[in-house]
Amino acid sequence: MSTITLLLPDGTKKEVPQGSTGQEIAQQLGKKNILAIEVDGTVQDLMKPLESDKELNIKFLTFDDEGGKHAFWHSSAHVMAQAITTLFPQAKPTIGPPVDQGFYYDFDNLELSEEDFPKIEEEIKKIIKANYEFKRNVITLDKAKRLFKDNKYKQEMAEEYANDGKELTAYQDGDFIDLCEGPHIPRTGLIGAMKLMKISGAYWRGDQKNTQLTRVYGISFPDKKQLKQYLHDLQEALKRDHVRLGKKLDLFVVNEHVGQGLPLLTPRGTTLRRELYRFIQDEEIKRGYKYTNTPVLAKTELYKISGHLDHYREHMFIFKMGDDEFALRPMTCPHQYMIYTRKKHSYRDLPVRLAEIADLFRYEASGELHGLIRIRQFSLADAHIICRNDQVREEFTNVIELIQFVMKTLGLAEYWYRFSKWDPKNKDKYVDEPVLWEQTQTEMKQILDELKLEYVEAEDEAAFYGPKLDIQMRNVYGKEDTMFTVQMDFVAAKRFGLTFINDKDKEEEAMVIHRSSIGCLERTMALLIEKYAGKFPLWMNPEQLRILTVADRFNAQAQTIAQRMRDAGIRVEVDTRTQSISKKVREAQLDYVNYICVFGEKEADKDSLTVRHRSNTILGMIHVDTFMAQVLKDIKNKTLDV
RNA sequence: GCCUCCGUAGCAUAGUGGUAUUGCGGCGCUCUCGUAAAGCGCAGGUCGCGGGUUCAAAUCCUGCCGGAGGCUCCA
């Protein structure tokens, strides 16, 4: 058999000689800008000869395909490492993969500052200009050990791959050779533009106990224009950064005398928080939750029982008073369990759904703190559902519905579900109940599949007491965070005696579901600030209306109208300054007030306002009562686009 | 906690060895004004904090504090 039959994405077939490379086939088909080839679902180099006696499904990949982009960035990482090792010969390259936005490479024995970037980028340009070919070589373990005799990391990886029975490959471009499984693009010249982005520390194999390496991040594109566009988009995204907007819109401040991770909400920020607070509390009460109010501190023995003290002691605020040791509570769970256990429960009483918007305190490491997203005191819309086993499915489903309702109401659309499971190998983190773990996870997976949720599964992301479903979102920097969570707990009932009397008059342990509906108020605020770039929907905007008086003889009447509106529940301010209307309009626009209302001669006679929406549209003169009715309706309905 | 970057008035900024620039905001006066910045004047700064080098430090060195991004962590 001297030819292979290829099946192309458009359904046509093509015969090529055995041993043809992707490169040759692409050329014959007149394909341009091809970076890699997908063969039966696996991305490969264009340089690799194809051999098969079966028909092969092939697809050519460009930078617009995930696989092509990854090969491109992966090759870029090699070029960067080549430049760095040329300039810093003592540096030991370790790993350098593509990531969501570009690539990085980790080095040992390298001290680098951003001031070094220009000369590295110069070196990179030389490599690109030389247009070296990426040559793929299959090597033996012995050869790998010889090639990388000065690099213990590469040797370690080579041995590991060999032990796993993998074929060892090394890629060479110019005089730079790297242990790597590929795939790579054909030549360095295909890289149009590359820029180094930042430096950070990173631990070898992601373990804090190992050596800290120097990680260099970079980005690259086939075309210089794309790089320019990327950098521009990045700048634009950062304008939405909630820390920046929080300051500009006067929502919160940080003060070094108060302490790290302890932001202070201003009146405007507090209004936004209050809207979220009232919304979720009212909604949960409608859905059968009972609210509790429990102390923000307790004796540490409470957290000893729950197991938190053993797991998180160094992350708790602990202090001694008299003979007792106390802690500011890092979570609500045991406090609410004490409410459950105040009396005996019949199976008929279940489920018991205890909710609380609880202030929690966690001593997060200083490097973890970020704006309103990771802080040391926060308010979690928390709840614990204590139910019978036969109720778990329905309760879990109801929680998901509540969360979906919350996201819809807030207008949050970019999220994904993560099914967070344990890792049997991580003995320190999880309670040692392998049977319960597997059983609970299986049951949870069934529920998720029944609900037809699309989710990603994540090992080693569970809570120490059970698996979770997390709702994940990204901030403007692209960093992922958990916004809402539903957790199964098969430990609490035993430890705290959360039982009920079943229909056989026997005491039985209950199941516990921990869940958060609107998440941590501060974090949710941060995401909302970034999503709306400060242009909040009417119902949550700290300032919904501003009345601008044309001259001071209209001030008193404008104040009366404003008071009528406040009495009805509208957040309105009056700008009585003796400034030009243009200036007052400009400032109201910059504050993203939803409606800007001018009040002067014409309006005074008719109890009206001339209304302008912040989208720059003038709605004309409207009677106060008519306008109020419309505004109140949109507030009540939580309309998103006003 | 670790790596990198940043820190000038309430905010935004100029200033790489000779004690600080400009705008917004604030205050005062004039203007009573119709949909994105009226005019004039005034006040406001231990240049994050401490130590060092120097005749002289916002600027150079060093230690700390605070912020940002990444790593690790995230009940």
Is residue A234, in this structure, part of any structural domain at all?
Answer: no
Strands, sheet with A545-549, edge to edge from the N-terminal-most edge strand: A572-575, A545-549, A595-599, A608-613, A617-623
The values of phi and psi at residue A115, to 5°, are: -65, -20
Residues 156-175 of A, Cβ under 7 A from nucleic strand B = none
Domain total of chain A: 4
Residues 45-104 of A, Cβ under 7 A from nucleic strand B = none
Same domain, A384 and A282: yes
| A367 is near strand B: CB distance < 7 Å | yes
| A527 is near strand B: CB distance < 7 Å | no
DSSP per position, A131-190: T-B-EEEEE-HHHHHHHTTT-HHHHHHHHHHHHTTPPEEEEEETTEEEE------SBGGG
Place of tokens 């029982």: A305
C-alpha separations of A248 from A119, A478, A583, A591 in Å: 37, 22, 18, 9
Nucleotide in closest CA–C1' contact with A259: B66
Nucleotide in closest CA–C1' contact with A475: B69
Domain closes at, from A532, A552, A581: A532
> CA(A256)–C1'(B66) in Å?
6
Same domain, A157 and A261: no
Mean pLDDT (whole number) for A484-490: 95
Is residue A239, in this structure, part of any structural domain at all?
Answer: no
Protein residue nearest nucleotide B66, by CA to C1': A256
Mean pLDDT (whole number) for A220-231: 95
pLDDT, greater one: A70 or A256: A70
Q: pLDDT tens-digit profile of A381-394?
A: 999 999 999 999 99
Nucleotide in closest CA–C1' contact with A257: B66
> CA(A575)–C1'(B71) in Å?
49
Supply A416's token pair. 């994904």
Q: pLDDT tens-digit profile of A276-310?
A: 999 999 999 999 999 999 999 999 999 999 999 99
Same domain, A566 and A527: no
Same domain, A469 and A560: no
Is residue A240, in this structure, part of any structural domain at all?
Answer: no
For residue A332, what is the domain's CATH number?
3.30.930.10
Same domain, A464 and A594: no
Using only C-alpha atoms, chain A has a radius of gyration, in whole angstroms, of: 31
pLDDT band at A30 (very low <50, low <70, confident <90, very high): confident
Is residue A642, in this structure, part of any structural domain at all?
Answer: no
The rounded percent of chain A whose pLDDT value lies above 70 is: 100
Is residue A193, in this structure, part of any structural domain at all?
Answer: yes
> CA(A213)–C1'(B62) in Å?
25
Is residue A438, in this structure, part of any structural domain at all?
Answer: yes
Distance CA A495, CA A497 (A): 6
Residue A256 has what pLDDT?
84
Same domain, A488 and A560: no
Residue A464 has what pLDDT?
94
> CA(A248)–C1'(B59) in Å?
30
| A308 is near strand B: CB distance < 7 Å | yes
| A200 is near strand B: CB distance < 7 Å | yes
Of A49-53, A358-362, A368-372, least confident by mean pLDDT is A49-53
Q: Which residues, in sequence order, are CB contacts of A73 under 8 Å at separation 6+?
A: A98, A99, A102, A103, A220
| A207 is near strand B: CB distance < 7 Å | yes
A13, A7 contact by CB (below 8 A): yes
| A362 is near strand B: CB distance < 7 Å | yes
> CA(A552)–C1'(B30) in Å?
16
Same domain, A406 and A548: no
> CA(A615)–C1'(B33) in Å?
24
| A586 is near strand B: CB distance < 7 Å | yes
| A610 is near strand B: CB distance < 7 Å | yes
Same domain, A518 and A591: no
Is residue A310, in this structure, part of any structural domain at all?
Answer: yes
Mean pLDDT (whole number) for A173-201: 94
Residue A512 has what pLDDT?
96
Same domain, A15 and A160: no
Which nucleotides along chain B are within 7 A of a protein C-beta?
1-5, 11-12, 25, 30-38, 65-75
| A3 is near strand B: CB distance < 7 Å | no
Is residue A247, in this structure, part of any structural domain at all?
Answer: no
To 10 degrees, what angle do helices A555-568 and A624-637 make? Answer: 30
Strand partners, A105: A216
Residue A1 has what pLDDT?
56
| A616 is near strand B: CB distance < 7 Å | yes
> CA(A248)–C1'(B16) in Å?
31
Mean pLDDT (chain A, rounded): 95
A75, A84 contact by CB (below 8 A): no
For residue A29, what is the domain's CATH number?
3.10.20.30
Protein residue nearest nucleotide B24, by CA to C1': A587
Q: pLDDT tens-digit profile of A324-363?
A: 999 999 999 999 999 999 999 999 999 999 999 999 999 9
Q: Which residues, in sequence order, are CB contacts of A224 under 8 Å at separation 6+?
A: A192, A193
Same domain, A20 and A76: no
Same domain, A49 and A78: no
> CA(A114)–C1'(B54) in Å?
29
Same domain, A16 and A107: no
Place of tokens 């209050």: A274
Max mean pLDDT range (A8-12, A423-427, A548-552): A548-552
| A333 is near strand B: CB distance < 7 Å | yes
| A364 is near strand B: CB distance < 7 Å | yes
Q: What is the extent of the structural domain holding A610?
A: 538-637
Place of tokens 């300054």: A577
For residue A209, what is the domain's CATH number?
3.30.980.10
Distance CA A255, CA A266 (A): 12
Q: pLDDT tens-digit profile of A617-635?
A: 999 999 999 999 999 999 9
Domain closes at, from A42, A62, A82: A62
Peptide bond into A351 cis (omega under 30): yes
